[in-house]
């Protein structure tokens, strides 16, 4: 049991070894109930916005200042579950997107087989494809395809071209090819917060064609939190749940350091975000990720990294509460 003095020192972000949330580091996933992982990958976005590979290190640098206990849940997640930092997925072929996605799948397959629930920090949104190639139909999912709760300004179900600036399993394609592979059940999945700058008038059509349940930002503002929460709970009920969180769903005022920033319409504020995340409380949450942070474009106070940390803490607590049930 950590003493108050221990907790005080853990909270000093400039002191000690910067693991995520000061969790112990191990390379052995059998030592973890919840595995914190970095995926420093940025060639799946296919653009010049490539500093997303610096995201995991930025979170490690600030995460010590994060909340240590969850007052609303009455939970100390670090006591309720074995939470470990398993380090970063290695990318010796960093400029080869397809090779990197396979590296992620191989790394996460080992995590899945050990029964540890991963929370992965990217990296661009292509990492979700690599993660769910491992988790979809895997041990944690009980052999089933996963239901995803997908926070994003963009659909990532791009089917008009089979690559994005050369990347096949790109940040824009994973929502389509994972369904094609049988790893994701779109009919039990919800995409929420979509407000991107469309290039075509039918930009949402691929999501509808695949069977995703779509809640655009305009839909959300019209129906409100209660109705959106009810939809999420109805659609995801009974399925293994995976949360993928693209930081560009947040308003640029609280997450300025993101790739593909969307300033034309207000995004989610943090209280809305936390409430929507809690809509899956008590469900079988098998993992999650937070993606698309651009530390080199962050504000001087690291607000995007801190927002990432807050979302990550909520995911960790949702899973740790389940571990203690």
pLDDT at 313 over 70: yes
**The tokens of 88 are what?**
């970063």
Measured CA to CA, the distance from residue 226 to residue 144 in angstroms comes to 29
pLDDT at 324 over 60: no
> Each residue of 236-251: b (16+ CB within 10 Å) or e?
beebbbbbbbbbbbbb
Taking only the tens place, the pLDDT of each residue in 17-37 is: 889 999 999 999 999 999 999
pLDDT at 196 over 50: yes
For the segment 29-56, the average pLDDT, to the nearest whole number, is 88
For the segment 39-43, the average pLDDT, to the nearest whole number, is 91
**The tokens of 280 are what?**
């899956």
* pLDDT higher at 224 or 2: 224
Q: What is the pLDDT of residue 325?
A: 47
The model's confidence at residue 48, banded by pLDDT at 50, 70 and 90, is low
pLDDT at 95 over 80: yes
**The tokens of 57 are what?**
């290190």
Q: Mean pLDDT check: name the lowest of 103-107, 123-127, 178-182.
A: 123-127
Q: What is the pLDDT of residue 166?
A: 66
For the segment 67-86, the average pLDDT, to the nearest whole number, is 94
Taking only the tens place, the pLDDT of each residue in 155-186 is: 989 887 776 766 777 667 799 999 999 999 99
Where do the domains of the chain lie?
A: 32-84+97-323
Note the CATH number of domain 32-84+97-323. 3.40.800.10
Phi, psi (degrees; rounded to nearest 5) at 23: -65, 150
Q: What is the pLDDT of residue 182?
A: 97
Query: Considering the chain, what is the average pLDDT of its residues?
Result: 92
Q: What is the pLDDT of residue 20?
A: 94
Taking only the tens place, the pLDDT of each residue in 240-249 is: 999 999 999 9
Closest CA to 184 of 218, 157, 147, 155: 147
Strands ordered across the beta sheet of 117-122: 83-88, 34-39, 117-122, 285-291, 241-246, 147-151, 190-194, 213-216
CB-neighbour burial class of residue 4 (10 A; exposed 0-12, middle 13-18, buried 19+)? exposed
Phi, psi (degrees; rounded to nearest 5) at 258: -130, 155
Q: What is the pLDDT of residue 9?
A: 65
Measured CA to CA, the distance from residue 1 to residue 209 in angstroms comes to 51
Using a pLDDT cut of 90, give the percent of the chain over it: 78
């Amino acid at each position: 049991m950590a003493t108050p003095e221990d907790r005080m020192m853990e909270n000093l972000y400039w002191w000690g070894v910067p693991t995520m949330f000061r969790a112990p580091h191990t390379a052995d996933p059998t030592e973890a109930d919840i595995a914190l992982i970095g995926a420093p990958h940025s060639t799946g976005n296919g653009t010049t916005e490539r500093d997303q590979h610096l995201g995991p290190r930025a979170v490690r640098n600030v995460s010590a200042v994060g909340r240590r206990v969850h007052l609303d849940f009455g939970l100390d997640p670090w006591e309720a579950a074995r939470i470990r930092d398993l380090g970063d997925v290695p990318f010796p072929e960093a400029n080869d997107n397809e090779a990197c996605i396979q590296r992620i799948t191989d790394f996460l397959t080992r995590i899945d087989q050990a029964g540890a629930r991963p929370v992965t920090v990217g990296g661009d949104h292509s990492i979700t494809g690599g993660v769910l190639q491992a988790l979809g139909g895997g041990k944690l999912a009980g052999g089933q395809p996963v239901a995803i709760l997908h926070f994003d300004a963009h659909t990532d179900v791009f089917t008009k071209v089979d690559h994005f600036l050369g990347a096949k399993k790109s940040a824009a394609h994973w929502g389509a090819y994972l369904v094609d592979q049988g790893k994701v059940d779109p009919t039990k999945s919800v995409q929420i917060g979509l407000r991107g700058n469309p290039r075509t008038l039918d930009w949402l059509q691929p999501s509808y064609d695949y069977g995703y349940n779509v809640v655009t930002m305009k839909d959300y503002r019209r129906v409100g939190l209660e109705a959106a929460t009810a939809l999420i709970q109805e659609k995801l009920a009974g399925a293994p749940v995976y949360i993928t969180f693209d930081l560009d769903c947040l308003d640029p005022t609280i997450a300025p350091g993101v790739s593909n920033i969307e300033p034309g319409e207000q995004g989610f504020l943090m209280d809305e975000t936390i409430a929507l995340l809690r809509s899956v409380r008590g469900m079988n949450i098998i993992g999650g990720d937070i993606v698309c942070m651009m530390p080199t474009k962050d504000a001087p106070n690291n607000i995007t990294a801190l927002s990432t940390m807050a979302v990550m803490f909520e995911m960790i607590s949702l899973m740790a509460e389940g571990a203690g049930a």
